[in-house]
Amino acid sequence: MDAVSVDLQSPHPCHCFTLTCFLGSRSREEVQALTLRWKDRPGGDGLRLKNRENEYMECGQQVDGTTAIDGVDLTMVAKFKYLGPVISSDDDLVEDIRTRNNATWAK
C-alpha cells in the first residue's frame, strides 16, 4: 500500500490499508483536498473511493458544515473502528476497552 499511495503520503497521519483508509489532517479543507486527490487518482492500482461507504470524524473543536465528494455529503460519526481499536472523537476509551474485553472473552 505504501507504494501505490506514495503521492498521498504526508507528514501528518496518513495510513492506507486494503479495506480501510485513514486520511488525517488538522483542517477540514486539507482532508477534503486529500479525499479528492484519492478519488481522482487513476484506477490502475485497483483502489477506488466509494462515496456511499465513506465517513468522517472531527476531533476537538467542531466546525459547521460537512465534507463532501462530488456534492455528496459524507456521514459524520462520533466513533469508528479502525484496524481493531475504536477511535472516538471525544477521546472516550470505554467503547475500545469494551470491544477488546469482548474479543478476549470470545476466544
Domain map (residue ranges) of the chain: 1-76, 79-107
Report DSSP state, residue 4: T
- As beta bridge partners, residue 56 has 76
Residue type, 1: M
Kindly list the distances between the CA atom of residue 91 and the CA atoms of 33, 46, 55, 62, in Å, as whole numbers in the listed order.
25, 34, 18, 14
User: Of 68, 10, 58, 12, which Cα lies nearest the Cα of 36?
Assistant: 68
- pLDDT tens-digit map of 18-70: 446 677 777 778 878 887 887 777 666 666 666 567 777 777 776 777 777 77
Taking the complete model, does pTM exceed 0.85, yes or no?
Answer: no
Residue 14: is its pLDDT beyond 50?
no
Give the pLDDT score at 15.
42
- As beta bridge partners, residue 86 has 81
